[in-house]
Amino acid sequence: MRRRDFIAGLGGAVAWPVAARAQQPKLPTIGVLVLGSPPPEAFLKGLRDALRDAGYIEGRSIRLEIRSAEGNADLLAEKATELVRVNVAIIAAYQTPAATAAKRATSELPIVMAGVADPVGTGLVASYAQPGGNITGAAAGSTEVAGKTVELVREILPSADSVAVLANETDPFAKPFLTAIGIGARTAGLEMKPIMVRPPEPLDAAFESMAVKGVNAVIMQGSITSKASLDLAMKYRLPAFGISRELPAMGGLMGYFANSREYYRETAVYIDKILRGAKPASLPVSFPTKFDLVINVKTARALGLEVPQSLLARADEIIE
């Protein structure tokens, strides 16, 4: 072999791995958009676990690009636009405000909803069976559980006559949420007193209003649930009910909500199908099949309440 041919062959052999590395496919990037209220840590962990179960390892076979509005809905549009600008493959949007912001930011990129309340009523999709457009995902069944929450208020507070409903005016689900609770309140013989707030503005005035109105309990919309709001509920001795796991975990009395592990898993399934070529318009929106009741008995004792054994027996989790 001539020396020139040997060197050329050696050079090709040395250069090949570098070229191969340069040609390796880029990891698909999933943009994750969250409002940040309630705190998204449980969702982010659940999504990562579900993606791992679906065969995706963060940093190896997939990347996550996370954007949080830190509880300020006014920042969601900016965060959604950032994800579009960095050209993610899919946007996974947690809760209704995030999904709405993502829809406004793009009509091209696939959007997977996670734990979104009433996606049809809020205009996110055309129907559960045929979502249309670029959005599909896992609904949270929040309209149905909102009415059930009023029944729980009546069970633990049989002499109650009124309940405040703390609703987020920046959340498109606020209107369906209030409607569902209003129907449940009439059935339960309770007067509903809605109080609209706009996070991240302080909630002190809202709770002072509840005290003036003499309500017996407060039901909080999921996107307004925070440690600050629950601390105020305790300050004013108001049993707090809600439709998110975070509420009882952070000190609220009772939460009734779609099983979060189920919609984490569903979210990962949608992401997997879309990465494999499926179109959101052809993937029906899933509805939860399991709902969880979580009771914080430590909070009940602090409020001087006795939780009926019938409720404790039905609970999926009891926080001591």
- Report the top-level CATH class of 143-257+292-319: alpha beta
- For residue 200, the model assigns a pLDDT of 87
- For residue 187, the model assigns a pLDDT of 94
- For residue 29, the model assigns a pLDDT of 97
- For residue 26, the model assigns a pLDDT of 81
pLDDT means over runs of 10, the chain (320 residues): 41 41 70 94 96 95 96 95 97 97 98 95 96 96 91 96 96 95 95 94 95 97 93 97 95 96 95 98 96 98 96 96
- For residue 19, the model assigns a pLDDT of 42
What is the value of pTM for the model shown? 0.87
- For residue 199, the model assigns a pLDDT of 87
- For residue 43, the model assigns a pLDDT of 94
| Structural fold of domain 29-140+259-291 | Rossmann fold (3.40.50)
Long-range contacts from 125-131, C-beta under 8 angstroms, 24+ separation: 125/285, 128/284, 128/285, 128/287, 129/284, 129/285, 130/281, 130/284, 131/280, 131/281, 131/283, 131/284, 131/285
- CATH 3.40.50.2300 maps onto the chain at 29-140+259-291, 143-257+292-319
